[in-house]
Structures are given as structure tokens and as C-alpha cells.
């Protein structure tokens, strides 16, 4: 197929341009001095400075970080234990739970959002930061469980047998062998859960109620009320944060001890 290679390569490069072009344009225009037009009027950092003085935005950022922290912690506890607990189960039950865990990841997020909203309303739980946290844990648990399980299954069972053979009881096997070997997966899962929670819009949109605003909700309302250079700057920052999280997560997971 060498003859077709050039053609394929050209298409590939164009697809890459398609993937990165819009992001780059966005970042570029966050430095544009012009207020409304797309014409270039010189470089400026004033839109970034403006973000720092937007109190509502800062409050939303604080909310987002708090929600991401709490939901990541909650999901790590629940999902990590779930992954460990599943190990000893009969295979059929493991497969059943695995299938169930895929469900929250495939059903449309809108649906998860409305279902949670209805549920909280029926329980008479006031919508706010708490309900958002509860909701974020729901989509983070499967992510965490799947990531840790993947790693657990790659572990050589002989390692844990070796530890037992050398006198370790089941707690010591976990503490000195399983846990250190899971560490990359654990940190990877922490970063993924944190990023997903930080970026989530839909579940938050339905479960936040009028009081609690997060960063994505704020971005959404800003976009809805009109395109402004401040959004460009904010977007560029969000891109940076997400990419940093992903890079860190990959770095941690690549370190295969």
C-alpha cells in the first residue's frame, strides 16, 4: 500500500489540523486586543487580567475545585474498594458488575442529569453543591473502578503469593505489595476523576440548582449571553488546566514502577 501512503498521510495531517486548529485559534484570540471584531488589533493580556477581577468567576472556580476534590475523594474510596472487593468474586458476578459499571458511562449524560435531578427533588434534597458532589461521584466511581481493576488484572498473581509465602498476612500483602504496585493506577485515577469532575457540565447543570455555580456553568452562561474576549481567555486557561492534568496523569501511569 506504499503508493497510497502519501494520500493517507495528507488526509491524516488535515485531520490533525482540524483537531487542533480551532483550539489554537481560540488561544490566539485570547491575546487579541480587539474587543468584538475578529480583526487583529495587537497583543494584550488584559482579558486575562479582567478574569482575575471577576468575583463571580472566582467563586465559581472555588466551587468547582471543592466539588472536584470531594467527588474525587469519594469516588476513590468507593471505586477503589469496589475494584478490590470484586477480585475474589465468582467470574460471572464480576462480569455482571462490570457490565453495570459501563452503563453510567454509555447512557447520555442528559439522562443521568435529569434522573439525578428528579431523584433529589423527590427526596426533597435542596439542589446545591452537595447534590452536585453526589452526582459527580456517580460518574467517577465507574471510571476509578475500571482503571484500578485494569491494573489489578495486570498484576502477576505470583507476586501476592510470593508475599504470602514469605510470611505476609493478608493485610501485609495488601500494604507492602498490592498497594505499592497499584500506586500509578491510583494517581492516574485521581487525576482523571478530578479532570472529569472539573470539566463536567451536564450533570452539574441539572443538579446544581440556582445557588451553586461552577466554572463550566459560568462559561456556559457567558457563552449564551454573547461571545466576549474574556471567554476566550477563560477557555484558554481551562484548556491549559485540562491538558496539564492529562499530561500529569499519563506521566504517573507510565511509571510502571
Partner 1 sequence: MPDHDRASSQAPGRSSCRSCWLAAPGLLWMGLFFLAPLGLVFAISFASRGTYGGIVWEFTAANYLDLLHPLYGKILGQSLWYASLTTAICFVLGFPLAYVIARSPARWQPVLLLLVMLPFWTNFLVRTYAWMILLRQDGLANRFLMGLGVVDAPLELLYTPTAVVIGLVYSYLPFMVLPLYVAVERLDPLLVEAAWDLYASRWSVFTRVVVPLTMPGIVGGCVLVFIPSIGAFITPDLLGGARSMMIGNLIQHEYLVVRDWPLGSAVSFVLMAIVMAAVVLYYRHADRTAEALEGR
Partner 2 sequence: MATSSTPPFLASDQSLSPTPSTIDVRGIVRRHGAVLAVDQVSFQVRRGEFFSLLGPSGAGKTSVLRMLAGFEDPDEGDLLIDGRSMLGVPPNRRPVNLVFQSYALFPHLTVFDNVAFGLKMRRVASTLIEAQVRQALTMVKLFGKEARRPAQLSGGEQQRVALARALVNKPAVVLLDEPLAALDQQLRQAMQVELKSIQQQAGLTCVCVTHHQEEAMMMSDRIAVMHQGRMWQVGSPREVYERPCNLFVSRFLGVSNELPGRIGAPIGEDRLFQPIDADQPPLTVRTLTSEQAGRPATLSLRPEQLRMARERPATSGPVLSGRIEKVLFAGSDTKYLVRVGPERVWETRMTSDASLPSFAAGDPVFLHWSLPDGRLFFE
From the CA atom positions of the chain, what is the Rg in Å?
Answer: 23
Which spans in the chain are helix H? 2-29, 46-52, 55-86, 91-106, 109-122, 129-154, 157-165, 170-173, 179-199, 202-207, 215-224, 229-254
Q: How far is CA 109 from the centre of its chain?
A: 14
Examine residue 88 and tell whether it contacts partner 1 (CB under 8 A).
Answer: yes
Specify whether the CB–CB gap between 214 and 64 falls below 8 A: yes
Q: How many CB atoms lie within 10 A of CB 249?
A: 21
Q: Which of 33, 62, 89, 159 binds partner 1 (CB under 8 A)?
A: 89
Give the other-Cβ count within 10 Å of 109's Cβ: 16
Q: How far is the CB of 158 from partner 1 (least distance, A)?
A: 18
**What is the number of other CB atoms lying within 10 angstroms of the CB of residue 242?**
14
Q: Which residue among 57, 116, 163, 217 contacts partner 2 (CB under 8 A)?
A: 163
Which member of 69, 125, 152, 202 binds partner 1 (CB under 8 A)?
202
Contact flag: residue 162 with partner 2 (CB under 8 A):
yes
Question: Toward partner 2, which CB reaches closer, 87 or 161?
Answer: 161
Nearer to partner 1, 90 or 167 (CB): 90
Short-list 119, 130, 115, 125, CA closest to 202:
115
Q: Is 180 in the site for partner 2 (CB under 8 A)?
A: yes
Distance, in Å, from the CA atom of 216 to the CA atom of 214, rounded to the nearest integer, reads 6
Residue 45 binds: one of partner 1, partner 2, none (C-beta under 5 to 8 A by kind): none
- Which of partner 1, partner 2, none lies near 162, with the C-beta cut-off 5 to 8 A by kind? partner 2
Determine, following the binding rule CB under 8 A, whether residue 59 of this chain makes contact with partner 1: no
- Say whether residue 165 binds partner 2 (CB under 8 A): yes
Provide DSSP, 119-183: HHHHTTPPPSHHHHHHHHHHHHHHHHHHHHHHHHHHS-HHHHHHHHHTT--HHHHIIIIIHHHHH
The entry of partner 2, partner 1, none near residue 81 (CB within 5 to 8 angstroms by kind) is partner 1
Q: Which residue in 18, 156, 210, 225 binds partner 2 (CB under 8 A)?
A: 156
CA angle 229, 231, 232 (to 5 degrees): 65
CB of 68 to partner 2, least distance (A): 29
Q: Which of 33, 77, 166, 179 binds partner 1 (CB under 8 A)?
A: 77
Contact by Cβ (8 Å): 207, 150: no
Does the footprint of partner 1 cover residue 141 (CB under 8 A)?
Answer: yes
Ranges within 95-114 binding partner 1 (CB under 8 A) = 97, 100-104, 106-112, 114
Residues in contact with partner 2, total (CB under 8 A)?
19
The reply on whether position 181 binds partner 2 by CB under 8 A is yes
Interface contacts to partner 2, rule CB under 8 A: 156, 158-159, 161-169, 172, 176-177, 180-181, 256-257
Amino acid at each position: 500500500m506504499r503508493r497510497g501512503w502519501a494520500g493517507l498521510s495528507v488526509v491524516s495531517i488535515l485531520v490533525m489540523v482540524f483537531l487542533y486548529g480551532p483550539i489554537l485559534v481560540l488561544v490566539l484570540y485570547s491575546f487579541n486586543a480587539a474587543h468584538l471584531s475578529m480583526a487583529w488589533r495587537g497583543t494584550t493580556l488584559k482579558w486575562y487580567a479582567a478574569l482575575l477581577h471577576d468575583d463571580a468567576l472566582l467563586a465559581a472556580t472555588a466551587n468547582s475545585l471543592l466539588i472536584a476534590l470531594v467527588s474525587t475523594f469519594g469516588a476513590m474510596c468507593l471505586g477503589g474498594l469496589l475494584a478490590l472487593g470484586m477480585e475474589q468474586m465468582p467470574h460471572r458476578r464480576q462480569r455482571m458488575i462490570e457490565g453495570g459499571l459501563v452503563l453510567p458511562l454509555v447512557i447520555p449524560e442528559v439522562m443521568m442529569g435529569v434522573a439525578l435531578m428528579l431523584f433529589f427533588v423527590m427526596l426533597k434534597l435542596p439542589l446545591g453543591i452537595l447534590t452536585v458532589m453526589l452526582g459527580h461521584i456517580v460518574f467517577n466511581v465507574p471510571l476509578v473502578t475500571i482503571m484500578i481493576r485494569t491494573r489489578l488484572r495486570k498484576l502477576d498473581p505470583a507476586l501476592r503469593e510470593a508475599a504470602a509465602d514469605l510470611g505476609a498476612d493478608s493485610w501485609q500483602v495488601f500494604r507492602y505489595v498490592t498497594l505499592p504496585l497499584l500506586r500509578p493506577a491510583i494517581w492516574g485515577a485521581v487525576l482523571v476523576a478530578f479532570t472529569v469532575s472539573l470539566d463536567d457540565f451536564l450533570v452539574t447543570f441539572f443538579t446544581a440548582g440556582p445557588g451553586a455555580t461552577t466554572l463550566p456553568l459560568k462559561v456556559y452562561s457567558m457563552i449564551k449571553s454573547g461571545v466576549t474576549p474574556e471567554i476566550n481567555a477563560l477557555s484558554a486557561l481551562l484548556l491549559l488546566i485540562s491538558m496539564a492534568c492529562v499530561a500529569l496523569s499519563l506521566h504517573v501511569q507510565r511509571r510502571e514502577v
